[in-house]
Structure 1
Amino acid sequence: MKKVLFICFALVIGQLSAQDMGAMAADAASTLSSDAFIDQIAGDQLKSMAKKFNLTDAQAEQASAFVTESLKSPKVQKALGKFSPEQLLSPDGLQTIQNTLLGNKKFMKKMKGFLNPDQFGMMSKAASML
Structure 2
Amino acid sequence: MSSLSFMFLLPLLLLLVVPRISVIGDGDGEDYAGQQWCVADVQTPDDELQASIKWACEQQGVDCSLIQENQPCYQPNNVKDHADFVFNSYFQKFKKQGGDCYFNGAAIITELDPSHDNCHFEYLP
Q: Same fold (TM over 0.5)?
A: no
Name the structure, 1 or 2, with higher relative contact order (CA <8 Å, separation 6+).
2
Decide which structure has greater strand share. Answer: 2
Report the TM range for the smaller structure's normalisation. 0.3 to 0.5
Structure 1 length normalisation: TM-score? 0.32
Structure 2 length normalisation: TM-score? 0.33
Decide which structure has greater helix share. Answer: 1
